[in-house]
Amino acid sequence: MRRGAPVLLLVLASTASAQPDGPFAAVPDLDPLALARVIDREGDGVVLEALEGDAPPLAAIHAAPFLRAPEQALGPLARIAAGRDPWRAPAAMQAISRIASGPVLDGMTSREGEPLDDVLASLDQLAADATAREDLRGAAALARSQLTMP
C-alpha cells in the first residue's frame, strides 16, 4: 500500500491541476459550444490571460480557436506546443492547426494583427526538434505552411 500512495498522490495532483477554474469551471468535458459561450460572455482576454500561465487550463487551450481574434493566441499556443506536457502540448498543437486551417484568419488583415514571424519561427523550431514527438513536429510543419499560404 505504501508504494501505491505516491503514485496515487501524483494522479490526484495531476487531475486537480487539469481541472479548469474561473470562467472555465462550468464547461463540461471541453464542450466547444460551451467554450464559445464563455468567450462570448467573458471576451478573448480571459483565454489569452489563461494561456500565459505556467499550466494553462486545457479549456483555455481548446477555446483558443473560438476567439474573435484567434491569431493572438498563436504565440502562447506555440510555446505550449513546444513544451513537454503530455496533455497540453498536443492540445495546443491541435488548437494551432484549427486556427491555421480554418477560415478564422480571413479577417486577420482587417484586424491588422501583429505579424506572425515569431509564431512561424516557433513552429519551425518545433518541426526541427528531434526530441519532440513526431506527430507534433509534423503538425507544426503543416500549420506553418498553412499560416503562410496566400
11 within domain boundaries:
no
Question: Residue 127: phi, psi to the nearest 5?
Answer: -65, -30
The pTM score is 0.79
Higher pLDDT, 116 or 64: 64
Query: Cα–chain-centroid distance for residue 6?
Result: 30
Cell 468535458, residue located: 29
Over residues 22-81, the pLDDT tens digits come to 777 777 778 888 888 889 999 999 999 999 988 999 999 999 999 998 999 999 999 999
**For the chain, what is the mean pLDDT?**
82
Per DSSP, the residues of 108-128 read HHHHTPPPSHHHHHHHHHHHH
Over residues 90-104, the pLDDT tens digits come to 999 999 999 998 765
4 within domain boundaries:
no
10 within domain boundaries:
no
Residue 88's CB is within 10 A of a number of other CB atoms, namely 20
Q: Which domain holds residue 56?
A: 20-148
pLDDT at 21: 61
Question: Residue 34: phi, psi to the nearest 5?
Answer: -65, -40
- The grid coordinates of residue 83 equal 513544451
Q: CATH number for the domain including 113?
A: 1.25.10.10
144 within domain boundaries:
yes
Under 8 Å between Cβ of 147 and 105? yes
Q: Is the pLDDT at 16 greater than 70, yes or no?
A: no
List the one residue out of 83, 82, 51, 85 whose CA is nearest residue 66.
51
Higher pLDDT, 2 or 75: 75
- The grid coordinates of residue 56 equal 494553462
Report the domain count for the chain.
Answer: 1
72 within domain boundaries:
yes
